[in-house]
Structure 1
């Protein structure tokens, strides 16, 4: 069974479907750095299948560069990554590329969701005078792919704020539109934490299926998740602000949780992207205060920060500008690419924001998942942006497995 991933990002949703046994026909994504990430992940899966992971590990260690890594991969595999914005102007060329890739095969699923910032509560605060933000209409372009390829099922992921954005207008329009193109549509608010992800991350999962199918919204088996942030970070070496080494060494052996979820595999011989941003003295002082207060059960607010330390004069809006990552991390967001204030590492011995690898683990990405930049070896900002926008692969995998079982 195969699928197309629209607005694919770094491939978190796709990774889950691949692990569930689906085959990607195409990933469509506008961000160039994310497309390199998708290609590198395709390289990983190919080298894993052909038992040549030594080549991939050589890349992670920096012994070969990205161009050399890609030279070991059949070039046609990378045709599946289409670096083009989805739009009325571009869809024709995207369709032509997908048609070549799929050949005579049909498309079983379409997955993916348009950028969610325009629907989120934070996004609405920033865009309160932009109710006509064009991103809010991208579902129409999504529907054109449904009309052309008529997949059995589609999975449309977005933020809970979609239901209330502009008084629910877009939520209603989206469901009506998908029904008009021939799909029965239902949705539920699901929390990644209930799927084994160590993160309080609620997402609206809209699932549609063709009217001719005997199908219904899947009953997902959730779990009682007893794991916490300490289970995610226990084997990672300590960092100072601004540490940016290509590779690190694990502090301890793997743990039952990391092995069970395959976040860390036995074949992972090198730790990459355990890097963190530098901070100025004032921010470090605020971080230290935030961690001390958190230890006392107090959440720091911008209006309670001493005047001598406060870096933002606004003490009425965005009071939780500084936030410590607790036992169950709060929702990872793309804003982490701009600063680390909302994701402060919870330790008085490591005053800093979380690293790229820690953010990736919160999202349940495996350690062998490498986040690229437009230039060689990627960069911290691009990696944080891709991670913050992603669907947790562990949640995606369980959704994919249930859908597959129900379709077969």
Structure 2
């Protein structure tokens, strides 16, 4: 199925770090960026990525990669691991996963792409009273980049899901980029009905049927057809309920129960992938838990597309304008 869903000619090359199954990559490829090299430590995610991509996908920890083997490209992008930053679980300033972004910074410093794009969870903004986020921005600035950060909600860009994410776009200083305008929200949101109305009923083996934990029952997990979904998480047993399920009823603070009258079930992994705006014909590798994990860890494709369109226009405008001497050959 490679290239089956891409409709734009690539003009800029890219390296993708912490790429996962490739939600960010697909969105950028659809807007003119060709991923030529990608890396992730999850073997199933790498196998999924290789299904749709022509990139060289290197599976392994970023700290074990020899950077001299990574090609020079026009862009570097990726969603560095966010578990230590997330608002949905315990947050630790000294979480080892919080330092993996430094490899991203190091590669940007060595390869000097025109632009980098980084994505992370909303929780990164408040970790350490904001000091961690400011330090990350400063790290990129010190490597010679003008950095533009923005908190975006994927539901504003054609994704049927509330999913707030921080996007960092950095342009190399010698491009003299003084302003970058992020995409404006769409006039209408895509609802669960819009996204799933033509999707057939899933097979039982496509749905996580693990017991519902006390954590799951601590808040409402269901939204109606005319709304967008709650955030799709990486943990299968925390995936929200399908809108055909009965409403949840609040009993007390942090305590809910299921209503009656219909079958209660989570979204299937295929439905979760559609809510994340992956192509419907993309098959994910691995077992059920792994598929949910890959989908929940991904950047929604439509959110990536919206950002990529603005980055592409600005970069092309810059390179074709007053900075002709900066233009290098691209594929």
Same fold per TM (> 0.5)? yes
The answer to whether the aligner puts 1:234 opposite 2:197 as a matched pair is yes
The answer for unaligned runs of 5 or more in structure 1 is 43-76, 245-274, 284-310, 374-378
Match of 1:188 among 136, 139, 150: 150
Quote the residue 1:297 is aligned against: none
Q: Could you tell me how far apart the structure 2 residues matched to 1:351 and 1:220 are?
A: 37
Are 1:84 and 2:63 counterparts?
no
What corresponds to 1:213 in structure 2?
Answer: 175
1:122 Cα shift?
1.9
What is the rounded CA distance, in whole Å, between the counterparts of 1:97 and 1:41 in structure 2?
Answer: 22
Aligned to 1:367: 280
- Which residue is 2:27 aligned to? 16
Structure that is richer in helix per residue: 1
Residues 390-405 of structure 1: matches in 2 within 5 Å?
390-405=298-313
> How far did residue 186 of structure 1 move?
1.9
* Contact 1:322–1:344 (Cα < 8 Å) also in 2: no
1:331 is paired with a residue whose SS is coil
**Gap change, CA 1:167 and 1:318, over 3 Å in 2:** farther
Shift of 1:190: 0.9
Q: 1:175 to 1:4 in 2, by over 3 A?
A: same
| Cα distance in structure 2, aligned partners of 1:397 and 1:212 | 26
* Counterpart among 215, 224, 229 of residue 187 in structure 2: 224
Aligned ranges for residues 104-115 of structure 1 at < 5 Å? 106-115=72-81
Contact 2:223–2:243 (CA under 8 A) maintained in structure 1: yes
Of 146, 154, 179, 2:141 maps to 179
1:227 Cα deviation from its structure 2 partner? 2.9
1 or 2, which has the higher strand percentage? 2
Hey, what does 1:45 align to over in structure 2?
none
- The structure that has the greater radius of gyration is 1
Partner of 1:134: 96
3-state SS of the aligned residue for 1:382? helix
- 5+ residue gaps, structure 2, are 1-11, 246-261, 317-331
Indicate if the aligned counterparts of 2:157 and 2:189 stay in contact, CA closer than 8 A.
Answer: no
RMSD: 1.9
Aligned to 1:265: none
The partner residue of 2:265 within 348, 352, 355 is 352
| Superposed counterparts of 1:5-404, under 5 Å | 5-42=16-53, 77=54, 80-87=56-63, 90-91=64-65, 93=66, 95-98=67-70, 102=71, 106-123=72-89, 125=90, 127=91, 130-215=92-177, 216-239=179-202, 243-244=204-205, 275-279=206-210, 283=212, 312=214, 320-321=218-219, 323-326=221-224, 327-335=227-235, 337=236, 339-340=237-238, 342-348=239-245, 349-373=262-286, 379-404=287-312
TM-score (norm 1): 0.66
Number of matched pairs: 286
Kindly provide the CA deviation profile for residues 236-269 of structure 1, in whole angstroms up to 9, marking residues without a partner as x.
22347xx12xxxxxxxxxxxxxxxxxxxxxxxxx
Q: Please give the per-residue CA displacement for 1:156-195, whole angstroms capped at 9, x wherever unaligned.
A: 1001110101221210110111111111112011111111
SS of equivalent to 1:121: coil
